Structure 1
Amino acid sequence: MTVIAVLGLGEAGGLLAAGLVEAGATVRGYDPRMPAPPGVVPTGSDAEACAGASVVLSVNSAADAVEALRESLPGCATGTIWADLNTATPSLKERLSALGANVLRVVDVALMSPVPGRGLATPMTMSGPAAEELAGVLRGFGASVDVLDGPVGAAATRKLLRSVFYKGMAAAVVEALEGARAAGLEEWLRDNIREELIRGNAATLDRLVDGSRRHAVRRRAEMAAAAELLGELGVPPRIAAASRDWLEDLA
């Protein structure tokens, strides 16, 4: 029977651990702040959780990733697959690989959508020499995995570049609605944004990129005015100012 350790039993880690248990894996878990979900064997430390596990899923945070690996090493057998699922830079993933090199086979895992609502079926992208082996293990429990032909850090690179768009777009929407709320126009702008998102199609990307380059001078002035308006409304123009600066560079 496959034994998997899950370090970090918060929202994402707890759901993944529970899904693995339901699929038939023996799961050992550790989190100093969260109790283990039903069916997960609770342990008292990272190293204790890793004892006897052939796969370790590190799902704590980028800030805790290095310490979790260091604390776990005494409990890990040589050849253990260490899957880092934290949202972190490629350089941090490479550092983890170097720190565990004599004992662990580190795999860079990027969760490509929120875990709530999907659990173990959350799309994962993996890279690193042991990625195919890890993918085989997790697919056996129902996981959705895409393996990249690349080193540790390749999966993190793709996720973070995608995040620039998705999270950046979300931040732009939040900032625009804050300004609209201050101006008494929130419902109007919400309807406008909804219509634009519905109208988007395959040509939208080219229109956004080409239009920004072709009309950079005019749009730079427009975003300078938009940033000024937000300031007058008492809303910090973080995204508007960044857009103004990008258009200045394009011009």
Structure 2
Amino acid sequence: MRIGFIGFGEVGSTLARDLQAAAHASIAAFDIAFATAGSKASRHAAEREVVVVGSAPDLAARCDLVFHSVTAGSSLEAAKAAADGLRHAPWFVDVNSVSPGTKRATAEAVTAAGGRYVEAAVMASIPPKGIRTPVLLGGPHAEAFLPIARDLGMAVEVFSAEVGGASSVKMCRSILIKGMEALLTEGMLTARRYGVEKQVLASLTDTIDTDWSQLARYMMSRALVHGRRRAEEVREVVRTIEEAGLEPMQSPATALRQDWAADRGLELTQDVLATKDLATLVDAVLAKAVK
């Protein structure tokens, strides 16, 4: 099977790595960032030794299976850009974290162009499980794609024959996870400024028995490294809430904090971003945040 990726960031490059390790070696990729030689996507492509393709339709035209893994904000437009390459009816697996409405619009565009659209809701962070990360499938082609996905090593379940249901699970989860990242970032920075972070963490542990220090460090670091992408996802969360007929209140602020974290992350060294010590991480962020 000829496998391609539209978008070669963390998700695309990690899946490609695992597919190559399982001897699914015919892998190609397109990413707009390939135009910049030193970009992270370009480095990933070189490391994975994938075939670099010059456009989305060219990538789609040469593949039997296309993983669609771009940023949330560009998901629909990137799928439309690939339309001319879908006439041979490849599988088009949309792993982007977007609202049910955006998934349905993408499905319509892909189907009209000839592709077999499969909704894929990735239900956890791709690291560390990679291709074994739990995924919910949706859409009329989900059942037919299920054995193919399992043969590739994916941990998949069919959620619904209707497009949008699987993503509603993912987006509702994101309300909570991305919101927790934002709240822990804001809470730990403020507590550190007042010198009460140890007491706050102890109180949290008394309330919910977990290692809050490591949880806060992990969630803060994810926002600092991936905040821009997460902010786009949260804006799709806002769309999801609105599609449900509700007024989003917390999530717009979450998107702002995720963007803020991304800006701070650009100012930190890789050693700081990778630290296992919460105090080291918080102090480094405060040094950039407090003027």
Aligned to 1:170: 181
Matched, 1:190 2:189: no
Task: Give the gaps of 5 or more residues in structure 2.
Answer: 34-40, 211-248, 254-291
Question: Residues of 1 paired with 2:89 and 2:7: CA distance?
Answer: 21
Kindly indicate whether the alpha-carbon contact (under 8 Å) linking 1:28 and 1:50 is maintained by their aligned counterparts in 2: no
Question: Residues of 1 paired with 2:79 and 2:160: CA distance?
Answer: 24
Three-state SS of the structure 2 residue aligned to 1:107 is strand
Aligned to 2:83: 73
Aligned to 2:13: 14
What does 1:88-237 align with in structure 2 at a 5 Å threshold?
A: 88-102=98-112, 103-198=114-209
Aligned to 2:69: 59
Query: In terms of mean alpha carbon deviation, does 35-44 or 51-60 score higher?
Result: 35-44
**What letter matches 1:49 in structure 2?**
L
Deviations 1:183-207 (A, max 9, x none): 22012112222343317xxxxxxxx
Kindly indicate whether the alpha-carbon contact (under 8 Å) linking 1:6 and 1:57 is maintained by their aligned counterparts in 2: yes
Kindly indicate whether the alpha-carbon contact (under 8 Å) linking 1:21 and 1:39 is maintained by their aligned counterparts in 2: no
Kindly indicate whether the alpha-carbon contact (under 8 Å) linking 1:30 and 1:46 is maintained by their aligned counterparts in 2: yes
Shift of 1:39: 3.8
Question: Residues of 1 paired with 2:123 and 2:58: CA distance?
Answer: 29
Q: More helix by proportion, 1 or 2?
A: 2
Task: Give the gaps of 5 or more residues in structure 1.
Answer: 200-237, 243-251
Three-state SS of the structure 2 residue aligned to 1:6 is strand
TM-score by length of 1: 0.74
**What letter matches 1:119 in structure 2?**
G
Question: Residues of 2 paired with 1:67 and 1:30: CA distance?
Answer: 14
Question: Residues of 2 paired with 1:63 and 1:153: CA distance?
Answer: 17
Shift of 1:154: 0.8
TM-score by length of 2: 0.64
Kindly indicate whether the alpha-carbon contact (under 8 Å) linking 2:142 and 2:161 is maintained by their aligned counterparts in 1: no
Question: Residues of 1 paired with 2:129 and 2:201: CA distance?
Answer: 28
Q: Which structure has the larger Rg?
A: 1
Kindly indicate whether the alpha-carbon contact (under 8 Å) linking 1:51 and 1:76 is maintained by their aligned counterparts in 2: yes
Matched, 1:45 2:55: yes
Kindly indicate whether the alpha-carbon contact (under 8 Å) linking 1:53 and 1:76 is maintained by their aligned counterparts in 2: no
Alignment coverage as a number of residue pairs: 202
Shift of 1:81: 1.7
Identity of aligned residues (%): 28
Shift of 1:6: 0.7
Question: Residues of 2 paired with 1:150 and 1:171: CA distance?
Answer: 34
Question: Residues of 2 paired with 1:145 and 1:88: CA distance?
Answer: 18
Shift of 1:49: 1.3
RMSD: 2.2
**What letter matches 1:30 in structure 2?**
F
Question: Residues of 2 paired with 1:18 and 1:166: CA distance?
Answer: 26
Deviations 1:26-62 (A, max 9, x none): 2111112222242422111111211231211110112
Three-state SS of the structure 2 residue aligned to 1:120 is helix
Shift of 1:23: 1.6
Question: Residues of 2 paired with 1:132 and 1:22: CA distance?
Answer: 26
Three-state SS of the structure 2 residue aligned to 1:198 is coil
Three-state SS of the structure 1 residue aligned to 2:91 is strand
Aligned to 2:223: none
